[in-house]
């Protein structure tokens, strides 16, 4: 989610451009291999082709594997992804696929990579030792967040203060096969346009996720992964998507880790239609066919306008929240209907709201808090601190408790309390630590916990019961 934030300064724009240069320097395009000049020990057969990976840092990585047969462009925009088909070709899997279309933001690493509507590709990371011994490892499928508006799997840099989803370190220490993938976001993935006519399908981003999970289940055994032990894990909007997909009886995954899910961020049909019509107005679209001709610049501009308009309407939910359409999402996830009893690890950061409140001008915080109807408690701490706490409670912590109170299966609760880097213990603060930080006890502890849960489906502390047994992720002397 986003609150009303000021325009970026020249200093931030400079940092954005520098980060963009770093990530784009790593870009490359995978090509079809037409000769015998490749490492056959790194070639793995999938339904839709044979893919050749690369070995580095004791990890074998396969990047940019397509999990559909056609890209969602042209007439396939706003359509369900087209299922992959058999292919006897041999292809390089050296480079990440391009990120989905979105605005650029230094806080979202995937947005700095090259972008395209042709974005439905996945990456697989295998610990080299497991591959050499032909071991079978648990599988962990990462679904990124980004308010349903931004995100991607593009690597940013080795600077641990920047978010990145290169899974080399994580796969090695969690001792798991790790899968990441891109899915459509914002206008292309989540805006409901089905009210226009039947050629527009809703929740395309969620359907992309379903396709990637099905692809993983069917192909991961060839990558040393256990197809019967798949953990879906994600953060923020990514975690909320996993929560929504749990009600689908399609055997998509066997366990889940929900990191700071925005669990209430879903629209009814009436709400989704209103948001869709508002977007078309903001984008200047008067006829249905005009939406196919919107430039990427116009789309990004309209995305920003929609977010601001929604905030002006006092809407705390993400502007591109999914639509409970009765098919892709059968019921509102918070109804907890048809939820399976699979093992779940769920949690939040200590001060989620800091990410959204700290950048606001001091004088603006009380007015925005009042405008957004936050229930700010009285106290001796600064108003900014209390406003952040109110946001943390209303958007993340209270819904998580509601989920735990109704959840039918075994569940464990954590709270991230390690103030590392620029994000501290705010929303997304755990991500650089979980995926990037090397010589750090808390980082090692987190990767061990996540890996243990994926492997065994249980954790060393007690299951959550009546508000008890919360594990604090913090520095322990």
CB 235 within 8 A of CB 207: no
Per-residue confidence (pLDDT) for residue 162, from 0 to 100: 45
Rounded Cα gap, residues 322 and 218, in angstroms: 27
Rounded Cα gap, residues 191 and 193, in angstroms: 6
Check residue 351 and report its DSSP letter.
T
Q: Alpha helices, DSSP H only, in 220-362? A: 237-245, 269-283, 296-312, 354-357
Per-residue confidence (pLDDT) for residue 130, from 0 to 100: 79
Per-residue confidence (pLDDT) for residue 164, from 0 to 100: 57
Dihedral angle of Cα 48, 50, 53, 59, to the nearest 10 degrees: 80
How confident is the prediction along the chain (477 residues), in pLDDT tens digits per residue? 666 555 667 777 787 778 777 777 778 899 999 999 999 999 999 999 999 999 988 999 999 999 999 999 999 999 999 999 999 999 999 999 998 998 877 666 677 778 899 999 999 999 998 777 778 999 999 999 999 999 888 654 434 344 456 899 999 999 999 999 999 999 999 999 999 998 999 999 999 999 999 999 999 999 999 999 999 999 999 999 999 999 987 789 999 999 999 999 999 999 999 999 999 999 999 888 899 999 999 999 999 999 999 999 999 999 999 999 999 999 999 998 888 999 999 999 999 999 999 888 888 898 889 888 899 999 989 999 999 999 999 999 999 999 999 999 999 999 999 999 888 999 999 999 999 898 899 999 999 999 999 999 999 999 998 777 899 999 865
Q: What is the pTM of this model?
A: 0.93
Closest CA to 2 of 158, 202, 147, 175: 147
């Amino acid at each position: 989610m986003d609150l009303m934030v000021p325009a970026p300064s020249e200093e931030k724009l400079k940092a954005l451009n520098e980060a963009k240069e770093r990530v784009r320097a790593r870009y490359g395009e995978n090509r079809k291999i037409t000769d015998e000049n490749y490492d056959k020990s790194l070639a793995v057969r999938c339904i839709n082709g044979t893919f050749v990976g690369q070995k580095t840092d004791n990890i074998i990585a396969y990047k940019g594997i397509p999990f559909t047969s056609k890209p969602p462009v042209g007439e396939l925009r706003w359509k369900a992804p087209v299922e992959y088909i058999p292919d006897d070709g041999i292809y390089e899997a050296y480079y990440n696929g391009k990120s989905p279309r979105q605005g650029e933001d230094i806080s979202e690493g995937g947005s700095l990579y090259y972008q395209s509507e042709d974005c439905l590709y996945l990456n697989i990371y295998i610990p080299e030792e497991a591959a050499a011994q032909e071991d079978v490892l648990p599988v962990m499928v990462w679904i990124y967040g980004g308010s349903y508006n931004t995100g991607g799997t593009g690597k940013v840099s080795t600077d641990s203060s920047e978010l990145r989803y290169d899974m080399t370190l994580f796969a090695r220490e969690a001792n798991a096969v790790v899968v990441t993938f891109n899915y459509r976001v914002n206008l292309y993935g989540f805006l409901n346009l089905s009210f226009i006519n039947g050629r527009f399908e809703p929740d395309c981003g969620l359907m992309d996720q379903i396709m990637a999970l099905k692809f993983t289940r069917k192909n991961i055994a060839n990558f040393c992964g256990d197809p019967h032990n798949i953990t879906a894990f994600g953060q923020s909007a990514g975690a909320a998507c996993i929560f929504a997909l749990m009600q689908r009886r399609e055997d998509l995954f066997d366990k889940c880790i929900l990191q700071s899910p925005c669990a209430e961020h879903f629209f009814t049909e009436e709400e989704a239609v209103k948001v869709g019509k508002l977007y078309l107005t903001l984008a200047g679209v008067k006829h249905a066919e005009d939406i196919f001709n919107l430039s990427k610049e116009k789309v990004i501009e309209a995305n920003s306008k929609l977010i601001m308009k929604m905030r002006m309407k006092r809407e705390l939910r993400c502007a591109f929240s999914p639509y409970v359409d009765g098919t892709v999402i059968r019921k509102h996830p918070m109804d907890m209907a048809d939820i399976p009893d699979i093992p779940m690890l769920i949690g939040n950061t200590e001060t989620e709201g800091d990410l959204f409140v700290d950048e606001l001008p001091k004088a603006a915080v009380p007015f925005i808090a009042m405008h957004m109807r936050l229930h700010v408690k009285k106290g001796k701490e600064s108003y900014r601190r209390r406003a952040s706490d109110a946001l943390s409670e209303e958007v993340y912590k209270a819904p998580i408790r509601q989920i735990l109170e109704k959840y039918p299966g075994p569940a464990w609760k954590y709270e991230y309390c390690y103030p590392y880097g620029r994000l501290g213990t705010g929303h997304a603060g755990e991500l650089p630590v979980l995926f990037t930080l090397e010589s750090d006890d808390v980082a090692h502890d987190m990767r061990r916990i996540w890996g243990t849960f994926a492997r065994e489906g249980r954790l060393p502390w007690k299951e959550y019961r009546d508000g008890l047994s919360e594990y604090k992720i913090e520095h322990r002397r």
